[in-house]
Amino acid sequence: MASQLQPVRGTHDLLPDSYNQHHRVIESASDVARLYGFARMDTPIFEFSEVFHRAVGDTSDIVTKETYTFTDRGGESITLRPEFTAAIVRSFISNGLQQNLPFKAFYAGPAFRYERPQKGRLRQFHQIGAELLGAAEPMADVELIALGIQTLSVLGLKDSVTLEINSLGDTESRANYREALVAYLRQHERDLSDDSKLRLDKNPLRILDSKNEGDRDILEDAPILHDYFTPVAAQHFAAVKAGLDALGIAYRVSDKLVRGLDYYSHTVFEITTDKLGAQGTVLAGGRYDGLVKLMGGQDVPGIGFAAGVERLVALMEDQPLVQHKPVATIIPMSEAAEAEGWKLAQSLRAQGIATDIAYKGNAKKRFERANKAGAAFAVILGEDELKNGTVTCKNLATGVQETMTRDALIAALTTND
């Protein structure tokens, strides 16, 4: 007996109903991004591995544990993209876009990470996001956050989430804080988790984001980054908070919210929910002023965010499904009417009217198909209609039907589309 083929663990099929919700998230976000001047773009789903290794770091969990990396037939090391920011920055540099500042890009598409599948976390997942390059001002941070909030609002999720913000300060702020944090954690090194012990030398700020309960207890009395801010860093964060206040965007300052990579600076933010269990972050972003230079470009500031489409769809479970139903189903009542039915279907589709056609069966079965498809109208083609060059249009909700010319049908269905 042949084994039944299944999707690879950590992947799933997007069947029509779920795809419609998925598509709704992407198109709604794209529409909002357009209001803010962000143009949609895309990058290849795989890049030279150096793109992500240089940007994300060889010691990060993403690179060491989670990337799908392989050597292609030409001997090149290739990585399926685990996130979009590095790919967008690579495109920005390689296409010579440094002269087009500020550069605003919106994206949507699949990304890949090899990690333990669970609710809201897949090995092939989908993200939407926005990147703004070339604007160092605090109001750029506010604009990105506002874009994220408005996107969630359009999706009906604003009341289900909480915005958390923090600042990592500038380079000098982080250097001073890192020294103080490491000195504090050395006193508790024996009690740190194994992951945090490794991070103590390589990336101590990541320890602030540890989910280990023992680590979190130790961090209760750790130094606070804000106490080490330079005046420039303090002014930037104050301006961001003032900008959010001016726009009426509610937020909570979270001292432990960090991004562990060295190119992150100043504002970081997450939009979280308590409705998805452990995977509570639905949108996250931050300022990465050092990334473009790190990847070989000019010293161009940047800020962006990404959101998981699957998590957003999961939050929308209580909302009605978005279904694209045909406006009309054509029902040929005889073999002679079949050919005319197909011609009429194509004519209606050319006018932008969503049209289905019942392929076979008696009249009862064909009407059942029209109802099952969710059509608003049944367009009946029988012998009399063929002879007179007319159709009979039946409103499936009211049962009222009317015989009319085909031009009149197009006008009627366009009005009801």
Interval 337-378: pLDDT, tens: 888 888 899 989 988 898 988 777 777 888 888 888 888 899
Helix (H, G, I), strand (E, B) or coil at 170: coil
Cα separation of the two ends of the chain: 49
Please report, as a single letter, which amino acid is at residue 59: T
Q: How high is the pLDDT of residue 379?
A: 93
331, 291 Cβ separation under 8 angstroms: no
Q: How high is the pLDDT of residue 58?
A: 52
The DSSP element (H or E) to which 391 belongs, if any, is strand 390-395
167, 346 Cβ separation under 8 angstroms: no
DSSP code at position 189: G
Burial of 10 (0-12, 13-18, 19+ CB in 10 A): middle
CA distance linking residue 380 with residue 398, whole number of Å: 16
The DSSP element (H or E) to which 244 belongs, if any, is helix 231-246
Q: How high is the pLDDT of residue 59?
A: 47
Q: How high is the pLDDT of residue 118?
A: 67
390, 345 Cβ separation under 8 angstroms: no
Tokens 């750029």 appear where? 140
Four-residue CA torsion sign, 115, 118, 121, 124: positive
Q: How high is the pLDDT of residue 129?
A: 98
Place 1 in a pLDDT band, splitting at 50, 70 and 90.
very low
Which comes out higher in pLDDT, residue 41 or 194? 41
Q: Does domain 328-416 have CATH number 3.30.365.10?
A: no
Which comes out higher in pLDDT, residue 292 or 362? 292
CA distance linking residue 250 with residue 163, whole number of Å: 7
- Range with the lowest mean pLDDT among 70-84, 217-231, 293-307, 348-362? 348-362
The number of residues in the chain equals 417
Q: How high is the pLDDT of residue 207?
A: 87
- Range with the lowest mean pLDDT among 45-54, 102-111, 179-188, 366-375? 366-375
Place 416 in a pLDDT band, splitting at 50, 70 and 90.
low
Q: What is the pTM of this model?
A: 0.84
Residue 206 has pLDDT above 90, yes or no: no
Delimit the domains of the chain by residue range: 16-170+230-315, 328-416
CA distance linking residue 34 with residue 25, whole number of Å: 14
Question: Residue 39: what are its φ and ψ, rounded to 5°?
Answer: -95, 140
Q: How high is the pLDDT of residue 61?
A: 53
CA distance linking residue 222 with residue 218, whole number of Å: 7
Strand locations in 229-301 (E): 252-253, 265-272, 281-287
Cis peptide preceding 102, ω within 30 of 0: yes
Average pLDDT of the chain to the nearest whole number: 88
Place 324 in a pLDDT band, splitting at 50, 70 and 90.
low
CA distance linking residue 316 with residue 363, whole number of Å: 39
Which comes out higher in pLDDT, residue 256 or 80? 80
Place 148 in a pLDDT band, splitting at 50, 70 and 90.
very high
**Which residues, in sequence order, are CB contacts of 29 under 8 Å at separation 6+?**
106, 108, 128, 151, 154, 155, 307
- Range with the lowest mean pLDDT among 107-116, 154-163, 200-209, 341-350? 200-209
Mean pLDDT of 26-52: 95
295, 55 Cβ separation under 8 angstroms: yes
CATH class (in words) of the domain with range 16-170+230-315 = alpha beta
**Which residues, in sequence order, are CB contacts of 192 under 8 Å at separation 6+?**
185, 200, 207, 214, 215, 218
Q: How high is the pLDDT of residue 255?
A: 85
**Which residues, in sequence order, are CB contacts of 202 under 8 Å at separation 6+?**
59
143, 242 Cβ separation under 8 angstroms: no
Please report, as a single letter, which amino acid is at residue 289: D
CA distance linking residue 228 with residue 207, whole number of Å: 18
**Which residues, in sequence order, are CB contacts of 6 under 8 Å at separation 6+?**
none
Mean pLDDT of 222-238: 94
- The closest of 305, 303, 168 to 236, measured between CA atoms, is 168
**What is the distance, to the nearest Å, from the Cα of residue 30 to the centroid of all Cα atoms in its chain?**
10
- Range with the lowest mean pLDDT among 30-39, 118-127, 230-239, 294-303? 118-127
